[in-house]
Structure 1
Amino acid sequence: MIRKQNNSITRPYRSKLWQQCTTIQSLKQVHASIIINGFNSNPSALRELIYASAVAITGAVNYAHQLFEQITEPDLFTWNTMLRGSAQSPNPIRAISLFAQMERRLIGPDNFSFPFVIKACTRLSWVQMGRTLHGKVVRLGFESNTFVRNTLIHFHANCGELGVARSLFDGCEERDVVAWSALTAGYARRGELGVARRLFDEMPVKDLVSWNVMITGYVKRGEMVCARELFDEVPERDVVTWNAMIAGYVLCGGYQEAFEMFEEMRRAGERPDEVTMLSLLSACTDSGALDVGQRMHSSIMEISSGSFGTLLGNALIDMYAKCGSIEKALEVFRGMREKDVSTWNSIVGGLAYHGHAKATIDMFVEMRRQKFRPNEITFVGVLVACSHAGMVADGHKYFDLMRNEYSIEPNIKHYGCMVDMLGRAGLLDEAFKFVETMEIEPNPIIWRTLLGACTIQGNVELGRIANGRLLAMRRDESGDYVLLSNVYAFTGEWDGSEKVRKLMDDRMVRKEAGRSIIDANNKELMKFLFDSKQKLDARNIPS
């Protein structure tokens, strides 16, 4: 039989002891005071100490678990507080474990216990466990409780069980905004925007969560016109609303709109956060807008008071490197207090793709010296550097190091780097032998890399082999035929070149026509040139 505890001790405490605990240091001081007076002698003080460490102080949940283990007879309020803190912590599985302990100790859960542990199941996507808890809720008669029911709607909707979520929603005598938002969000996440929009339009009261849910739903579908319409209608906005729109424009390639949205956000007095800046840096990286990226960097420094986290640092390194400013990328790298493997990968890759082979290898050596474990991405950068610099012996050394010391099985990118390295060095026979011994099936990129090397080296025989393997995989890429034709042309075998061109015609493979960068019919380009000339004239600069 489950033991019921006195309801009076589950009521919220009335003293203010927990408010004195604003940091872990002050928490320890209060803890020491309680120990002096007898740790288990004051249940009310213990409840406040647990609340402060599990809920009120960010990052102190591990301390809360240490305290909890010292309490001989935790009351239900204390159990629920621990469930709450664990469910919202970075490790929500602890809430499941605590609930199992409650059952083993015959502690009867109440209507506050279930929402916390169900929330943990939602975060973990533990569908079966959530279903089991739903069964317990029904057996104990808590399904009609608004708090419990809303959490169940959110769980089932989030896990894709929309039928169950809808049944719970329809069974509500009184539906609050939380229930409406949870169900709407469930349909929106599953791409059923039509149903989600009908629910949204029927909601008697819309909170900001429901507005953000719908805006995000349209953004994920790339329907930015609909998203913008809702954005313009929303009565109030928070940083989530702005971030959804900015991210949406970036995903759709609307980089200018994303930058304009950011400026509008700043004018509205909304403070950007890390998510905002990550989206905007991605836009700068994809569009190559170095000048805008530098302004974003200045905004980050302003927002973060000169100190930012690893994610933003990595994004800045990547942006500068891909926009052509490896010096600024190195400056950001050197200024970062905390680095992770992605930080090192960004700078190693950036140096490699800019052709700084020696600097790439030096950075890789330093990475290992500082005890960072390289991964498969790191070795792609290292092998690219070896390829571009013709460092064949070093390339083989690092390829073997990857496999033997770090137990990283090479993927198609690693093999591609090795083939490119051998081909660039003119070692075509070795490159072909390497491909034949690959432990994974060569893809068209591998064979095209070899064909390109044959073109440069003028090796018709191996070029035919590479082209044959390539055409066996795909027959409609005009560039593959052109490369083989160029091999023949390079060696003066014009008959072979002509036969390749005829083969293209027979297979109806069309080469895309070449274009001039200036198109007389391109009104936008002509307008740009006209405007530029006007600006030059206005400044008396000869064009």
Structure 2
Amino acid sequence: MPYPDLYTTSAPPPFLRRLLRFLSAFPRPKWNSNRNLVVTHPILSVMESCDSMVHLKQIQARLTTAGLMSDRFPASRVLAFCALSDPSDMAHAGLVFRGISSPNPYIWNTMIRGYNRANLPLSGFSCFRRMVRDRVEMDSRSFVFVLKSCEQLLEASAGEGIHCVACKAGFMSHLLVGNGLVRFYATQGALASARRVFDSLSERDVVSWTTMIDGYSESRKPHEALRLFYQMLMTDTQPNGITFVAILSAISQLGELKFAKLVHDNIGRSGIDASINLLNALVDMYGKCGSVADAKEVFDEMPIKDVFSWTSMMSAYAKCGNLDLARQLFDTMPERNVITWSSIIAAYSQSNQPKEAVQLFYEMIAAHVKPIDATLVSVLSACAMLGCLDLGRWIYEHYVDGKMIRLSVKLANAFIDMYAKCGDIAEATKLFDEMPEKDVVSWNTMILAYAVHGYSKDALFLFEHMKNTQLMPDDITFVGVLSACCHGGLVVEGRRHFADMKSIFGIEPKGVHYACLVDLFGKFGLLKEAHELVRGMPVEPDGAAWGALLNACRMQGNVELGKFAGEMLLGLEPGDSGIYVLMANLYATRREWDDVKKVRKMMKERGVKKTPGRSSIELDGKFHDFHVADVSHLQSKEIYTTLNNIYTQLKIEGYVPWTKC
């Protein structure tokens, strides 16, 4: 017996209207996103509110018994539930799919979508290839869904192949396909290709503009994002909330408060309902632009706040250097996620408070919050400052060797830096050599590591090897190269590399580069050349250059030039106690004790105090600081007794302390 129409837009009979009213009282499941579909068949009406695989199989059994599963529409609804519910069941979806004769584009598209949702992009891509191979009818959504498969595959060539198919099949005039290609290329970082597709679109909607603007913003090209946004405003296309979130991210990168306020005003005039994501973006933008007051105003006026709202406000305080308020906000948050923990840890690490950063990391682990790679990058930076090699090694063994976190290039760079600064240059070298992909930071970190540890030839050899890659050295690279020359006493090589910076690589030397070369000249008594180098700087010499010259004069005992360099340096940094110490040591080398007293008197009059030397050790997750002649530690008596025993044993072995000033 033929069954009634499966779906219709006309008024259903009275008994079906009652059934539909009853079913409409229940919320529609997430898998069923088609709000315009009106189903009138009794069994299929129940199917529309299905919310579990057990329920589905019961419905499917009834459909099979009634002989309805041979029809494409009932089969497509069963397939949609299997592929699009949460969690999905793609194995069962495959069985249903194979039982459908002549599946239409909607059914093929549902399979591709399902594979994407199940993180099986290769299966989704293969599904589309079958459509092409078997010359199955496809629509614009087929290309959109398979491009999302390509995004997950992270293979640009796969998406380029889809682009070719779209051109040959005549789908490039479809806006949906064009937008999908712009999105694909933008997410791959291929902005030139994305822009070519964008410029070739015969028509553009808000999605086209927003996708391209967001691509520029995500690729850290805020100026291009702003230019495109202004072009969009010149057209009849009105930005939506997502457009403004993208442009606010771009302004955050620029840190331009003037632009921030202009766009904020534009949002107010546009009449767009401010979503929580948009308000969060405003808080984040003002924080990164340095305006805590504006960030706080938006935050306080938010009708609803989520964990990202609190995290953005906390980060705003931290960005502006107010760690106390950032910590207060962190401690009072109603909810925290891994981004919250990562942000506060990064704030302490970047503010040179590594102990607090590490302590927070321990608390995070105790709270059973799994860190992400950004968390570990900040913690490793803190480990490098503290010399916590054991913690750094544990992080690698637990998270990287334990396959809990993928070793990205950025994370590998952080490990190399940590190993090098903690003295394990062998492990740093091993990790660098094993990296399948390296960026400029990777090479810079390793070159600097070699230079600091006195392996000058290794640093310069690595630099020559870097020049044979596709990567271009930057100003940080040359800090490492010149430091290597300085540590190795390679005057000729230092001069050559300094000259090559501008003549070959187009890099204008900065104060730190001049300081490296001045330091190199000073070690070999070339004070006249060092002084001429500082005086010949194209910009006003900074503290690094004068400090290097002062230190060179101290090493060579040149009081006259050293006094001049010291006076210049004090004019720039009068509160730096290290300058006074250097000058006092300079006078002491010539036994000019009256001048030493003058320096000490000057320090006293200016209220400058010498920062006391200290050491720090970590024991069982706790840090212990020790200053000169410190007796504040609870076990100071036992500590000094042990140190005296060690010193006595050293003297017995013939150790003589070096007391040269």
TM more than 0.5? yes
Amino acid at match of 1:42: E
Distance change (3 Å), C-alpha of 1:274 and 1:515: closer
Answering whether residue 638 of structure 2 is matched by residue 533 of structure 1, we say yes
CA distance in 1, matches of 2:410, 2:438: 9
Looking at CA atoms only, which structure, 1 or 2, has the larger radius of gyration?
A: 2
Deviation of 1:280 after TM superposition, in Å, equals: 0.6
Does the aligned pair in 2 maintain the 1:55–1:84 contact within 8 Å? Answer: no
State which of 116, 136, 151 in structure 1 corresponds to 2:242: 151
More off after superposition, 274-283 vs 55-64:
55-64
Deviations 1:430-484, CA, capped at 9 Å, x for gaps:
4445555555554454344334333333345555665676678777878667766
**Gap change, CA 1:199 and 1:33, over 3 Å in 2:** same
Does structure 2 conserve the Cα–Cα contact (< 8 Å) formed by 1:357 and 1:386? yes
**How far apart, CA to CA, are the structure 1 residues paired with 2:444 and 2:511?**
18
Q: Determine the C-alpha separation between the residues in 2 that align with 1:430 and 1:270.
A: 57
Q: Does 1:42 align with 2:154?
A: no
Deviation at 1:278, TM superposition (A): 0.6
CA contact (8 A) 1:320 1:328 kept: yes
Q: Distance in 2 between matches of 1:192 and 1:203?
A: 17
SS in structure 2 of the partner of residue 90 of structure 1: coil
Task: Give the secondary-structure state (helix, strand or coil) at the position aligned to 2:304.
Answer: coil
Aligned to 1:33: 130
> What residue number does 1:70 align with?
168
Whether contact under 8 Å (1:242, 1:265) holds in the other structure is: yes
1:163-200 CA-to-partner distances (Å, cap 9, x unmatched) read 55356447758654345444444444444444544544
1:354 Cα deviation after fit: 1.9
Output the CA distance in 1 between the equivalents of 2:579 and 2:359: 42
Structure 1 pair 536–48 and aligned structure 2 pair: CA distance change class (3 A): farther
Q: Give 1:249's aligned amino acid.
A: Y
1:51 counterpart = 2:145:
yes
Q: Distance in 2 between matches of 1:437 and 1:451?
A: 17
Q: In the alignment, which of 521, 530, 534 is matched to residue 422 of structure 1?
A: 521
- Asked if the contact 2:111–2:124 (Cα under 8 Å) also holds between the matched residues in 1, the reply is no
Q: In structure 1, how many angstroms separate the alpha carbons of the residues matched to 2:363 and 2:590?
A: 60
Hey, what's the Cα distance between the residues in 1 that align with 2:474 and 2:328? 44
TM score, norm. by length of structure 2: 0.64
Match of 1:341 among 437, 440, 455: 440
* 70 and 448 in structure 1: CA distance in 2 versus 1, 3 angstrom threshold: same
- Letter of the structure 1 residue corresponding to residue 490 of structure 2: M
SS class of match (1:210): helix
Counterpart secondary structure, 1:295: helix
Q: Letter of the 2:552 partner, please give it.
A: A
CA contact (8 A) 1:419 1:449 kept: yes
The alpha-carbon deviation at position 513 of structure 1 amounts to 5.7
1:278 and 2:369 aligned? no
Q: Counterparts in 2 of 1:346-495, with a 5 A limit? A: 346-368=445-467, 373-400=472-499, 402=501, 405-435=504-534, 441-460=540-559, 462-463=561-562, 466=565, 490-491=589-590, 494=592
Deviation at 1:276, TM superposition (A): 0.7
Structure 2 counterpart of 1:130: 229
Question: Is the CA contact 2:578–2:610 (under 8 Å) kept in the aligned structure 1?
Answer: no
SS of residue in 2 equivalent to 1:43: coil
Q: Give the 3 Å change call, closer, same or farther, for CA 115–509 of structure 1 in structure 2.
A: same
> Residue 242 of structure 1: CA displacement?
2.0
Identity of aligned residues (%): 30
Q: Does 1:258 align with 2:357?
A: yes
Unpaired runs of 5+ in structure 1? 1-7
Distance, in Å, in 2 between the alignment partners of 1:452 and 1:535 is 34
Contact persistence 1:152–1:165 (CA under 8 A): no
**Is 1:219 aligned with 2:318?**
yes
Larger RCO (alpha carbons 8 Å, 6+ apart): 1
Find the aligned partners of 1:367 and 1:121 in 2 and give their Cα distance: 28
In structure 2, the residue matched to 1:4 is: none
Find the aligned partners of 1:336 and 1:355 in 2 and give their Cα distance.
23
Q: Map Cα deviations across residues 218-245 of structure 1 (whole Å, 9 max, x no partner).
A: 3323444444454455554432222112
Amino acid at match of 2:145: Y
User: CA separation of 1:216/1:490 partners in 2, compared to 1, >3 Å: closer, same or farther?
Assistant: closer
Structure 1 partner of 2:400: 301
In 1, Cα distance between equivalents of 2:197 and 2:311: 33
The answer for the alignment partner of 1:241 in structure 2 is 340
Per-residue deviation, 1:60: 4.3
Q: Deviations over 1:329-378 (max 9, x none)?
A: 22332333333332222222112212233443444455456676544333
